[in-house]
Amino acid sequence: MATGRYRPDVAQPQVWLEDGRDRPRAEAALAALRFDRAQTGRVFCRACKEENPASFELCWHCGANL
């Protein structure tokens, strides 16, 4: 079985802030991502546009990060 380069607990979405005042906006963006995946159950790969189950971290078709 092939595995990714990074462990799942390391490869989660991250937002780095230069200004702490942007924290609410960053938290909202991450919450929207989590909500979107939970609601749709599907996510589309930005690289190849293939549909993937929301539980996937890598595209089944091209291997890009979702």
52 inside domain? yes
7 inside domain? no
Instruction: Answer yes or no: is pLDDT of 15 > 90.
Output: no
Residue 65 pairs in a beta bridge with 58
> What are the tens digits of pLDDT across the range 33-60?
776 666 667 889 999 999 998 888 899 9
Domain count, the chain: 1
Task: Name the residue type at position 29.
Answer: A
Count the Cβ atoms, other than its own, within 10 Å of residue 16. 5
55 inside domain? yes
pTM above 0.75, yes or no: no
**Closest by alpha carbon to 62, among 52, 51, 47?**
47
Print the domain residue range for 61: 22-66
Give 22 or 5, the one with higher predicted confidence.
Answer: 22
Task: Identify whether the C-beta of residue 64 lies closer than 8 Å to the C-beta of residue 58.
Answer: yes
Give 21 or 5, the one with higher predicted confidence.
Answer: 21
How many Å is the maximal CA-CA distance in the chain?
44
Residue 51 pairs in a beta bridge with 44
